[in-house]
Amino acid sequence: MTQLVWNGLFVGSFYALVALGYSMVYGIIKLLNFAHGDLYMLGAFVGFAVLGAVGGVSSSMALPLLLVVLLATMVLTGLAGVALERIAYRPLRRAPRLSLLITAVGASFALEYGMRAAAGADPRVYPVRLGGTSVEVLGARLTLQQLVLVGVAVVLMFGLNLLITRTREGRAMRAIALDPRTSSLMGIDVNAVISRTFFLGSALAGAAGVMAGAYYGKIDFLMGFLIGLKAFTAAVIGGIGNIPGTMLGGLLLGLLESFGTYWLGGEWRDVFAFGVLILFLTVRPTGLLGERVTERV
Amino acid sequence: MRAIPLKSFASLAALGLLVTGCGQGLLGGDGDDKAAKTDAPIVLGMLIPQSGSEAAIGPYMSNAAQLALDEINAKGGVLGRKLELKTADDACDAQSAAAAANKLVTEGVDISVGGYCSGATLPTLPIFGKADIPMIIPAANSQELVDQKLKHVFLINGTGSQQAAAAEKWIAKQGAKSVVLMHDNTSYSKDIALRTKALLDAPGGAEAVLVETVTPKESDYSANITNVLAKKPDSVYWTGYFQEGGLIARQLRQAGYKGSFMVGDGSVSPKLIEIAGAEAAEGIYATMTQTPDTLEGAEGWISAYKKKYNADPGPYSNQAYDAVRLAAEAVTKAGGTDGAKVIAALEAVDGFPMFSGPLKFTPEHTLMSGGFQVLVVKGDKFALQDSLK
């Protein structure tokens, strides 16, 4: 039982990290960025490349080294997200919403198969792995590494929440989400703020990608597809555009999958997850915490 | 023709032979249809995954096929005609495969020598059948392909039922009491898992306590592994592909599983070991037909492959190579590319030397002897554990 909870929370924290980018971007420009899962994939590969460049470090140094790689990757993936917005989405800012959505799907394929061309179709394996033996806590097996990863995820999420609720930058984001035109009349540089939103969301996805690469070990060019859909589901469950809601949605989806697998068997895991998505879209499209219309991001 | 050409011809020598190899061209004029027909190359079509999840396998197969082709052409081709290879991408996906098969048919393929993912190969059978194109399937081996009972389909990889029999044999040999079968719900993987379960369900010996289905392309299988461990099995048999197999092996060991872990032939790849990590991979068993690594006397072939492609041959390289050689043999015996004649020639093949041993087809067009053996991971490669003879 506690094992199921822990499994769910661990997977859920990855979902939550990736889902945040979905939510922020949706909140600010009403775009479902379907290429977002591929930014997670990009992060995993960037981390792989950075590790390769640092190279030859003993495994006793694995954790601190990975933290450095994590930061470097977050910056690079964030920049990739900015570039994506600049190239693919900004020219279509005034186009019908559907064109943006189709472009996002196209961007997703471009990232996937671009990576395939660059790195090959074979899965790659991280040179530094977070292995570790498991310890029993309240009847659940967990490793120190898992705890550290969840810790990093929580720190990142709280940092983001502070940034959005307590800083000028965050206020600008919330203002644009509410009314882009008025915001620009009030002297907010709308384009710059949207760029920075993409940077933050992509950096978080990149962080999740590196952590997944270091923990699970295997990365491949299609790894972002499924988690992208799962993150979207998590965002919908919690309330897309709502930051605390999205975090909650990620953890809940992880738990749902974990318990769903236990109750119904493995073949139902995704049926369960996406069934919940359909349920929410039909019954409560605003999600659990809802999109607070007065101040959404 | 020698059994396994141990020498790859330098391309220069091949060119020289090319120039001398077209004696017939002097007789027939350009306008003569018959001559044009006998001069036209014999086209082999190959559907392989070049994109999607199994994209890594495609090059192993097409490279090896091209290698066989070059060797045959260097010796003057078949019936004085050159062989030509056309590959198409099935993306390991049924719909893409059907489209790609139609494309190959319109491109005038004479014989099909492709097929890796059973789920993607299945819908292509009637397409090639309608076009009167015999199929020699190098890798796809789901029993479903056999159950179609189609005259033009030949499988030169051991089938699911043969693999399940080998798995059951080895599980019994190890003295395991309780077994968990894990598959990924693809037609190939599910087929082996359920057949193995059926064999285990017979009274006596080991018992299949759980069939656990996983979703491919995920990273985290802890939920499935919790289910598996709850059954406290002595042995776990994974019948899917290597990407998930490596992750499952690693996560099982991390969760404290101490029993035996065995994988099917779709997981036999050096990448499995890399993904699982050396510690978790050590001692993994695998049911597998013969691979370049476990073949005696294949060193020359491996070096020829390396020389041409600057990479090691991978899983199914040898089967793809053999499929081309077998196609050439059948066309030679049939005296042309007429479908019915080629099928008859294939049915009559007896003792054609292949990597998997001398070839003879059963009435169902599968290998007389499945040739499955058990490999074990030692260090960074699969070594022979038991030939199950």
B363 at the A interface (CB within 8 A)? no
At residue A58, the pLDDT reads 54
Q: Answer whether B275 touches A (CB < 8 Å).
A: yes
Q: Is the pLDDT of residue B10 over 80?
A: no
Domain with residue A174: its CATH number is 1.10.3470
Asked if residue A251 belongs to a domain, the reply is yes
Enumerate residues 6+ apart whose C-beta is below 8 A from B99. Answer: none
Cα separation, A54 vs A58, in Å, equals 11
Report pLDDT digits (tens) over B41-83. Answer: 999 999 999 987 788 889 999 999 999 999 999 999 999 999 9
Model pLDDT, residue A130 = 75
Whether A218 contacts chain B with CB within 8 A: yes
Q: Which two tokens stand for residue B129?
A: 């059948």
B281 pLDDT above the threshold of 80: yes
- Alpha helices, DSSP H, located in chain A: 2-29, 36-54, 62-84, 97-119, 144-166, 168-178, 180-185, 190-216, 223-238, 243-264, 269-283
Question: Do residues B228 and B214 touch, judged by C-beta distance below 8 A?
Answer: no
Asked if B220 reaches chain A (Cβ–Cβ under 8 Å), the answer is yes
Does residue B13 register a pLDDT over 60? no
Of B53, B255, B277, the CB nearest to A131: B277
Domain that holds residue A272: 1-283
Task: Inform me whether the C-beta atom of residue B271 falls under 8 Å from chain A C-beta atoms.
Answer: yes
CA-to-CA separations, B203 to B197, B199, B200, B206, B207, in angstroms, rounded: 12, 9, 8, 9, 8
B161-288+373-386 CATH pick, 2.60.40.3950, 3.40.50.2300, 3.30.450.20, 3.40.30.10: 3.40.50.2300
What is the percent of chain B where pLDDT is above 70?
88
DSSP B276-292: H-HHHHTT-EEEE---G
pLDDT value, residue B33: 38
- The set of residues, in sequence order, having a beta carbon less than 8 Å from that of B65 and lying 6+ positions away, is B44, B46, B85, B87, B113, B320, B321, B323, B324
Residues from chain B that touch A217, judged by Cβ atoms under 8 A, are 246-247, 250, 275, 277
Smallest CA-to-CA distance from B85 within B123, B121, B114 is with B114
Query: How far is the C-alpha of B304 from the C-alpha of B312, rounded, in Å?
Result: 10
Residue A111 clears pLDDT 90, i.e. is over it = yes
- Put simply, whether B218 touches A (Cβ < 8 Å) is yes
A4–chain B Cβ distance below 8 A for any pair: yes
Instruction: Give the one of B215, B219, B277 whose C-beta lies nearest to A269's C-beta.
Output: B215
Q: Does A265 touch chain B (CB under 8 A)?
A: yes
Res. A10: pLDDT tops 50: yes
Task: Name the closest residue on chain A to residue B247, using Cα atoms.
Answer: A216
Residue with tokens 């989405």: A89
pLDDT in tens, A205-233: 999 999 999 999 999 999 999 999 999 99
Residue A293 lies in a domain: no
Q: Is B42-158+294-355's fold the same as B161-288+373-386's? A: yes
The predicted-structure confidence for B308-360, as pLDDT tens digits, reads as follows 999 888 888 999 999 999 999 999 999 999 999 999 999 999 999 888 788 99
pLDDT band at A175 (very low <50, low <70, confident <90, very high): very high
Q: Which of A28-37, A138-147, B27-36, B120-129 has the highest mean pLDDT?
A: B120-129
Do the Cβ atoms of B227 and A258 come within 8 Å? no
pLDDT band at A56 (very low <50, low <70, confident <90, very high): low
Tell me, which fold does domain B42-158+294-355 have in CATH? Rossmann fold (3.40.50)
Q: In chain B, positions 150-189, which contact chain A (CB-CB < 8 Å)?
A: 185
Q: Do B215 and A270 touch (CB under 8 A)?
A: yes
Q: Are A226 and A17 in contact (CB under 8 A)?
A: no
Q: In what helix (H) or strand (E) does residue B137 lie, and over which residues does it extend?
A: strand B135-137
Asked if residue A259 belongs to a domain, the reply is yes
Model pTM above 0.75: yes
Average pLDDT over residues A256-274: 88
Mean residue pLDDT across chain B: 87
The whole-number average pLDDT for the span B274-303 is 86
Rounded to the nearest angstrom, the minimum Cα separation between B326 and chain A is 29
Helices within B46-159 (DSSP H only):
57-74, 94-106, 118-121, 124-130, 143-147
pLDDT of residue A62: 67
What is the pLDDT confidence band of residue A61, given thresholds at 50, 70 and 90? low
Average pLDDT for A277-292: 84
Does position B36 have pLDDT exceeding 80, yes or no? no
Compute CA distances A209 → A143, A223, B38, whole Å: 19, 9, 57
Smallest CA–CA distance, residue B30 to chain A, in Å, is 43
Cβ separation A220–B277 shorter than 8 A? no
Residue B43's contacts (CB-CB under 8 Å, 6 or more residues apart) are: B83, B84, B85, B86, B107, B108, B109, B110, B111
Say yes or no to pLDDT of B294 above 80.
no
Name which residue leads in pLDDT, B8 or B129. Answer: B129
Nearest to B226 among A4, A113, A223 (CB): A4
Share of chain B above pLDDT 90, in %: 66
- Amino acid occupying residue A262: Y
List the domain boundaries for chain B: 42-158+294-355, 161-288+373-386
Q: What is the pLDDT of residues B153-181, one digit of tens each?
A: 999 998 888 899 999 999 999 999 999 99
3-state SS of B336-378 is CCCHHHHHHHHHHCEEEEECCEEEEECCCCCECCCCCEEEEEE
pLDDT in tens, A112-167: 999 999 988 788 999 888 766 677 788 788 888 888 889 999 999 999 999 999 99
Cβ of A217 within 8 Å of Cβ of B185? The answer is no
Please, is A148 exposed, middle or buried when counting C-beta atoms within 10 Å of its C-beta (0-12, 13-18, 19+)? middle
Strands lying side by side in the sheet with B42-48:
B83-89, B42-48, B111-112, B135-137, B153-155
Residue B26 has pLDDT above 50, yes or no: no
What pLDDT is recorded for position B5? 44
The model's pLDDT over B83-109, given as tens digits with 9 standing for 90+, comes to 999 999 999 999 999 999 999 999 999
Q: Helix or strand or coil: residue B260?
A: strand
Q: Which residue has the higher pLDDT, B249 or A128?
A: B249
Report the pLDDT value the prediction gives residue A59, as an integer from 0 to 100: 55
Q: How far is B275 from chain A (nearest CA, A)?
A: 6
Beta carbons within 8 Å of A227's beta carbon, 6+ residues apart: A14, A15, A18, A37, A40, B219
Percentage of residues in chain A having pLDDT higher than 70: 94
Domain assignment present for A289: no
Answer yes or no: do A269 and B275 touch at CB < 8 A.
Answer: no
User: What does DSSP assign to residue B91?
Assistant: T
Q: Is B311 on the interface with A (CB under 8 A)?
A: no
Q: For residue B261, which phi and psi values (nearest 5 degrees)? A: -125, 125
Asked if the Cβ–Cβ distance from B256 to A121 is below 8 Å, we say: no
> What was the pLDDT predicted at A294?
44
**pLDDT at site B316:** 87
Domain count, chain A: 1
DSSP 8-state code for residue A167: S
What CA–CA distances, in Å, run from B49 to B103, B110, B120? 15, 20, 9
**pLDDT at residue B7 above 90?**
no
Using pLDDT thresholds of 50, 70 and 90, give the confidence band for residue B22.
very low
Chain B within 8 Å of A7 (Cβ-Cβ)? yes
**Cα distance between residue B240 and residue B238, in whole Å:** 6
How many CB pairs lie under 8 A apart between chains A and B? 97
Measure the CA–CA gap between B89 and B66, rounded to whole angstroms.
16
Concatenating the DSSP letter of every residue in A208-222 gives HHHHHHHHH-EE-TT
Residue B38: predicted pLDDT: 66
